[in-house]
Amino acid sequence: MEDVAIIGVGQTNFSRSCGVSIRELCFDAYKEAMEGLDITNQDIDASITCSAPEYDKQRTPSGLISEYLELTPKPAFYVETVCSSSTTGLRIAWSLIKSGLHKVVAVIGFQKMSELTSREAAERMGRGADIIWEAPFGITMPAGYALYAQAHMTKYGTTEEQLAKIRVKNASYGAKNAKATYRKELSLNDVLTSDIVSNPLKRFDCCANADGASCIIVASEDVARKVTKIPIWIIGLGAATATMTMSGRKLLTGLTCSQEAAKQAYQMAGVGPEDIDVAEVHDCFTIAELLAYEDLGFAKPGEGVRLIEEKETYHDGKIPVNVDGGLLSKGHPIGATGGSQVRTVVRQLRGEATEAQVKDAEVGLVHNIGGVGQYGNVVILRR
């Protein structure tokens, strides 16, 4: 069976309010992904649209996006695993190509969250938890991750200052990212004195809602070698699902879906944590990045703080993480987030990440989480 490669990646600017329709957002990401490729719309024989429902009035957006991008009558699919939707779309695209059903698939993630107030958006995010037994009692995204932060602090002595250092790092890179929502460096004091959202998480410990779109063009080996100079190969895929209810989870100092997805991806790729040159992890909150350090095997449980304390996750450190600013700086347009993470790693492996290029990066990892640790996807890529 042929290998599968990413041949194109694109992303819009992420912003608090984009001022355009979802079809225009998706077109802009698709346009960038197609740049430099020796193919046309007619060569794309399937598309997968990825988003979280209820943020936009449009039902079944896959048909709308397919028409606007002039991809009809090729099949269009719709995929949703909340915040991890577009890496779930990538997994399905890989499967469609491996099966022989398709040769080239476009994975298009988007979200336009500005049509809702922050309160409305938080309520809809809360529906990602069990709507009978947990969501009505306050398990919003910040509250859910605050529980993980409290558990990690209780067991390992993690401090608020150590979490704040993660935001300081990501803000330093976000300031260099032209597509990020927040392009401003922050001091440790800025983070520690920001308003409390859900104890111990403060405003700058949290990512923000955003509008945006991303696109990944995936192709079979025979096509990839013909249409692009630097195909980026998908060598490892892992996916897992935890219980919807947090009360049903046995571990609150790590995400079991991350751990299982990472195990699968490493095994499939034939590599380990020590082989990863650059990583994009799902830092919807500072505690989420810290948990990822440990869940992905970059550090032992309870020792992830050493990586940020010793600046090993900066672009010139042992394991560079989120050197595009992460969700904390870029913003989090739910369906577009995973595709944006993939774009960053692809650009790093191609040597195109001028803002914070990791030297000689050959193997990259993407870690994308849906909900409060409900869905976990890990993708490993090689130049």
- Annotated catalytic residues are 83, 332
Closest to 173 measured CA to CA, from 353, 359, 378: 353
User: How many Å apart are CA 241 and CA 262, to the nearest integer?
Assistant: 12
- HEC readout, 60-74: CHHHHHHHHCCCCCC
Coil vs helix vs strand at 143: helix
Backbone angles phi, psi at 368, to 5 degrees: -130, 125
Distance of CA 195 to the CA centre of its chain: 26
Task: Tell me the C-alpha to C-alpha distance, in Å, between residue 84 and each of 57, 201, 252, 339, 377.
Answer: 21, 22, 20, 9, 7
Distance of CA 193 to the CA centre of its chain: 27
User: How many Å apart are CA 59 and CA 22, to the nearest integer?
Assistant: 12
Task: Tell me the C-alpha to C-alpha distance, in Å, between residue 377 and each of 52, 289, 339, 369.
Answer: 16, 15, 12, 6
The β-bridge relationship of strands 201-202 and 196-198 is antiparallel
